[in-house]
Structure 1
């Protein structure tokens, strides 16, 4: 039995990398952005990367330069060092996944994306998935896990078979994704959905017209999408998608 995506993740708009706003000192995936999303009642999408000591850190990029001004991969520093590395336009450092779970504390739903750790969407995964599942033990709140790498989703299914999980998907343009053409050609039509026990997809909004998306929707698969940046884009995306991941404006909340 594939775990169902929590219904609240189909009803509550999801703030992309939390409710970030640099003008208010709320960088993406920061504690401040997490708190703002909780206060506003939005769902929260966050990204996880692995530290050198195999801790799940809430951070999007592989290299830290854009978000911290410190060059080098986050995988080359410890969790303690990451927490001490201040986010640009923010008031504190990179949070651990454990910290974010404490802040959210079940008040709003969490959509958790594990970034590819293999480098080419291959099978070299495990430590990030293990620490993610460890942190979630005993967590009382609606969550769902996802990754672009189907092997990561399969590992999550093995480690936590009762946790909702899905695949993050896109049009897979090699020049955009920086992946080999063969890898992009393989992943573009989401061939691993059944194999890895996925229960939903979160698809690139500009590619929602893809026939494979329509086929999954016809099977009753929940369709989330990313990243919506205006009410007009949201209205268009909702013709296909059940829910949106948004940034740069305030999506209308149900009710």
Structure 2
């Protein structure tokens, strides 16, 4: 049986990579950004990458340079090394691991966790990050959902933690926007053929492609549609015509009254 997405994921706007703003000392996926989102009452989206010693680290990019005071692949750092690597604009704080973030959020707001593709081509060479995430999430009781662009990752999450809501991050898969993927892979993923296979509780879809008939047929059929990434109130108003909730950054989305 597919677990339902908790209602708060459709009620509270979701802060993309937490409520980040480096001008205020809150980098993406940082403890400071997570605390700010909790204080404001927003849901939180975070990303997971795998450390060299098999631990789930809360970090978006595959390479360190844009977000941290270091260079090279994040997966070459151990957990302790990553935790000691300062985030850019973050007042010295290092990369957090998932266990620490779970303790910090502690069920206060919804937590949406994206598992970053570890295969490189959205293929089946996955498993270690999914296992590490599922292990860390055992016993967590707050509103929680998992997702990935890679349907194989979502299928593995369904096997490891069938009780947790999971979804596929979906896109229009324009070839120019996905140079790392082949045309056939883009064409396949665009059609979203894996939703039943993985037991998807929702999708999180690219905002500019929300009006596509395939997306709206899914929504009309009762599948919740979240979207990414909204960067203004104008964009949010347009997206809410076609989506049930937004993932936002760069402005403050209005909370329900």
1:131-155 deviation line (CA, Å, top 9, x unaligned): 1111111112000000000000000
Please, what TM-score do these two structures have when normalized by structure 2?
0.98
1:168-216 deviation line (CA, Å, top 9, x unaligned): 0111123322211111111011111111111100000011011110111
Runs of 4+ aligned residues of structure 1 deviating over 2 Å after TM superposition are none
Counterpart-to-counterpart distance in 1, 2:90 and 2:13: 24
TM-aligned CA deviation for residue 245 of structure 1? 0.3
Q: Does 1:193 align with 2:195?
A: yes
1:115-141 deviation line (CA, Å, top 9, x unaligned): 000000000111101111111111120
Counterpart-to-counterpart distance in 1, 2:198 and 2:138: 21
Helix, strand or coil: the match of 2:112?
strand
Q: Which runs of 5+ in 1 are unaligned?
A: none
Q: Which runs of 5+ in 2 are unaligned?
A: none
Instruction: Tell me which residue corresponds to 2:147.
Output: 146
Helix, strand or coil: the match of 1:47?
strand
Instruction: Tell me which residue corresponds to 1:244.
Output: 246
Please, what TM-score do these two structures have when normalized by structure 1?
0.99
Counterpart-to-counterpart distance in 2, 1:19 and 1:180: 34
Q: Confirm or deny: 8 A CA contact 2:63 2:73 kept in the other structure.
A: yes
Instruction: Tell me which residue corresponds to 2:174.
Output: 173
Instruction: Tell me which residue corresponds to 1:21.
Output: 21
Greater displacement, 35-44 / 175-184: 175-184
TM-aligned CA deviation for residue 219 of structure 1? 1.0
Cα RMSD for the two superposed structures? 0.7
Counterpart-to-counterpart distance in 1, 2:175 and 2:3: 32
Counterpart-to-counterpart distance in 2, 1:90 and 1:105: 22
Q: Name which of 210, 215, 218 aligns with 1:216.
A: 218
1:1-255 aligned at under 5 Å gives the runs 1-91=1-91, 92-177=93-178, 178-255=180-257
Q: Confirm or deny: 8 A CA contact 2:69 2:85 kept in the other structure.
A: no
Counterpart-to-counterpart distance in 1, 2:254 and 2:77: 39
